[in-house]
Chains A and B, each alone.
Chain A
Amino acid sequence: MAAVSSPMQFSRRSTRQLMFLVLVAASPAIVIHSWFFGIGMLLNILLATLMGMAAEALALYLRKRPIRSNLGDNSLLVTALLFGIAIPPGSPWWLLLLGIGFAVLIGKHAFGGLGQNVFNPAMAGYLFLLLAFPLEMTSWHLPEAAINPATENSPLELSGLAQSIQLLAPTTDLADGLAMATPLIESKMAVRSAVSAALDQGLNLFSRTSATGWELVNWAFLLGGLFLLAMRIISWHIPVAVIGTVLVMSAVYYSPGNASVMGTPYLHLFGSATMIGAFFIATDPVTAATSNPAKIIYGIIIGIAIYSIRVWGSYLDSIAIAVLFGNFCAPALDHYLRPRIFGRGQAGKL
């Protein structure tokens, strides 16, 4: 008897597909990263995915939700991917387990599961590790040397650099090189380091230095982001606002004399995690603002936070903190910046 009512036709696009396309968009960058710095990041992602799946299944079981359909929406894969990229390659398995466990159980399911979480789970997990295990999270191992010491592939040019940094910052455990730390971190650690000098000179392909590697990875993330835009999976508002804000701020505060202290705009955009942050992390629909004006403000807030924390704060790269800060603001932005209803005088009012 119950009349099933309109609409009857639906687009074929599903959450599952969206999440999968996000993975596809991120994959070139990961491949490039692995090419330059070894498979540490791939291992991270793989391990994080497996452990995250287990954590998700456990959470769904405890919450008495259908496990298969909820695991099948691929959202966990994206969380694990972002988490795996964020933490240092070659990190011990227990670190990964703690991080992804926190991300899934506390960051996601404690808030009510997919769609209900206030904070980006991957970033919450990363930040949890950063606060709980600062030493492990800032030790950048050289995975290729660790996994396959015999190989001659490890970027030899780096050894000198590593030594110089060690000299400048002897207390930090950076001896293994700079496989993962973004050049920005180096720039902060080592004033006038070779890396930032290389970045100042611009792109130098085929040199397989870590700086070039990072540049390429960022370009790949940019391309992936443009792919997401072209597929209309994300809207332009957040990435443009984030990147624009970082660009404007770094250009305003940039002075050629002390380039390495503040960093050039190019360093801020392509020598750091700005691209992945702007296209892949800040655009997480669950935790971002939803209406278009709110999205722009949200992106600007994140952009300001990224630059401020990097330059004046004491954390090295600041995407995670900036995004979580943006997440804090998103509900209020959504509440106050409602679009004007068609044909009505004032927004949201009769």
Chain B
Amino acid sequence: MLSLKHFYRSLASGGIRPPANKAETLRSRIMPTPVPEQLLLPLQQHQGMAADVCVQVGDQVRKYQLLASSDKASCAPIHAPTSGKILSIDTEIDLYNTGHRQICISLRCDGQDEALELDGDCVEDHRSLSREQLLARIESAGLCGMGGAGFPVAQKLAAGRKSGIEKLLINAAECEPYISCDEALIRERANDVVRGAEILRDASEANDAVIAIESDKSDAIAALRAALVDSELKLELVSPRYPVGEERQLLYNAMGIKLSRGDLPVDAGILVFNAGTAAAVCQAVMETRPCISRIVSVSGAPLRTPKNFEVLIGTPVAHLLALCGIDHGQHRRTIIGGSLMGKYLADASYPICKTSNSVIATSEEEFPGTEQEQTELACIRCGYCADACPENLLPQQLLVYSKAEQFERASNHGLADCIECGACAFVCPSKIPLVQYYRSAKESIAWEQDRRESGKQWQERFQFWQYRHKKNAESKKDRKLVTATDTDSTQSEFSRQQAREEIAAAVARVKQKRARKKD
């Protein structure tokens, strides 16, 4: 049950209760997936930088082998999820149709699943490892946050180390509809989660660690309670409403700490990790196993048997949909993530990444308007959005200003604080795509600012260019006055002609080259 404290906090911070749609995927246990024919591994599966490829096309690689890495801190290495042959290292995909192209390694699996021997011994108790060893194991495993944004874990721990960490929060609150991978994981592997949390606590030298979970996930709570029997970790139950699983919302609901939009939990001496991340950390440290798979919930009306799968990173989404028995007649589009903050996948052949927690196959009945347009009615200022907004903004005012492109006013009303959770658009009776308006306005503001900055730079360079040309012209005039009498004009005439001939020859060469290319 929720304590009074938590009940008050849930009242104070808005939010909505959309239909959860998690029961279907939670009916069965987490299932392993057969190895698909081909894997597609994006080099940048998280925020930060892309990794550099360290294999060649045609190489035979084994499971756990390093495929791409980087010495940059903001970059997590990528390992081969299974054995096979590298088909290409420069396949370009645009996962979500946003013009942001990603480079992928394409791996043809041979089905042998030959594993590289893991260097480093398995340990029973992580306390036998020093802190440096823990960090090194986490870093080399290529872990990044499994919740959504996917911040590399090692980088987060390093940042925490710099500023000093007091508390650790494990985010087991999975508030978005359709996503149940963490709940399934906790139900079956609560020990891993708790151990991972202990490892993260020791690695970040936090005094205290809290696991926060929604009060309505009774199975997962029971499993966690059992796993927590001889642990110092605390369990906090938070109110089951969306978006309680958002980092700052959870911090408030579980710990009573309010952070403003710009602040990172690290600044307040807190690190937040996802429950799935904790379980992966446990594997990485205990068995030195790199991150090559994750749990993904696959659901939606067109699927006959929605399930949670343990999926190799890089598995095409279509493979998972086929495993669930998809009805292609009903299937419209595919969402990666939840139904409120997810993204439409551009193509079902695109892969599962380290951050993809859920796949939803949409149908027309369940998601009306994905195919047909849905008309937006006038805002009647009913204020449901303001009640739902977890950030306490006034969405109706933001809408007016965003729509009219009065960006200054929108900013004054806290547009930048919007977390794009979609609670306002969910409750809107007029079906106004509020978040899309905000997103558009935010991007325009950022774009405008960017353009202003580069404009200033360009202006300076142009002014310098003008200044230089003026000076050059003046000095040329001077030189002409001085040299007009004694220069051999034929000499310069000749060199000019020579230059012209040389250019003509070069042009001809290029033309030939191009003609040859065409052939």
Contacts and interface: CB of A to CB of B under 8 A. Distances in A.
Interface of A: 1-11, 13-15, 17-18, 66, 69-70, 73, 75, 113-116, 235, 285-286, 288, 290-292, 295, 334, 338-344, 348
A277 B491 CA distance: 100
A17 B429 CA distance: 8
6 contacts: A9-B339, A70-B378, A285-B382, A295-B383, A339-B393, A341-B393
A114 B380 contact: yes
A343 B435 CA distance: 21
Interface in B373-409: 375, 377-383, 386-387, 390-394, 396-397
B383 A290 contact: yes
B386 A290 contact: yes
B33 interface: no
Nearest to A233: B382
Nearest to B435: A7
B367 A6 contact: no
A115 B381 contact: yes
A348 B412 contact: yes
A341 B124 CA distance: 47
Contact of B425 (A7, A17, A66, A113): A7
B116 to A, nearest CB: 38
A17 B417 CA distance: 31
A18 B382 contact: yes
Contact of B391 (A2, A17, A73, A341): A341
Given A18-B382, A114-B378, A291-B386, A8 B367 contact: yes
A345 B421 CA distance: 22
A6 B418 CA distance: 14
B429 A14 contact: yes
A9 B414 CA distance: 24
A343 B387 contact: no
Query: Which bracket fits the contact residues of B?
Result: 35 or more
B367 A9 contact: yes
Contacts of A339: 386, 392-394
- Please report whether the interface of chain A is mostly helix, strand, loop or mixed according to DSSP: loop
A244 to B, nearest CB: 20
A290 B381 CA distance: 7
Contacts of B412: 348
A8 B339 contact: yes
A18 B370 CA distance: 24
Nearest to A6: B341
Given A291-B394, A348-B414, A6 B435 contact: yes
Contacts of B413: 338, 348
Contact of A15 (B341, B362, B430, B436): B430
Interface string B124-149: 00000000000000000000000000
Given A3-B98, A115-B379, A341-B417, A290 B394 contact: yes
B344 A3 contact: yes
A343 B248 contact: yes
A7 B341 contact: yes
Given A18-B382, A115-B378, A291-B394, A8 B260 contact: no
B268 to A, nearest CB: 11
B97 A1 contact: yes
Contact of B258 (A7, A286, A292, A343): A343
A286 B375 CA distance: 20
